[in-house]
Amino acid sequence: MPPPNKFLMVRMMAVQHPQLVDAEAEEVSQEGYNALL
């Protein structure tokens, strides 16, 4: 089984927890993507 796509996982998290994403998107987005890479 191939590893899940990291960006797809982020996308799913955004769908499941939109309020969290909206609340912290500006500060965390760049940091979060860098951590996933």
Q: Convert 1-37 into a string of H (helix), E (strand) and C (coil).
A: CCCCCHHHHHHHHHHHCHHHHHHHHHHHHHHHHHHHC
* pLDDT of 1 higher than 60: no
- Contact between 8 and 30 under an 8 Å Cβ cutoff? The reply is no
**Cβ atoms of 13 and 21 closer than 8 Å:** yes
- Give me the half-sphere count of Cα atoms (radius 13 Å) on the Cβ side of residue 16: 6
Domain regions of the chain by residue span: 6-36
For residue range 9-18, list pLDDT tens digits in order.
777 776 776 6
Query: What pTM does this model have?
Result: 0.30
Which whole number is the average pLDDT over 7-33? 67
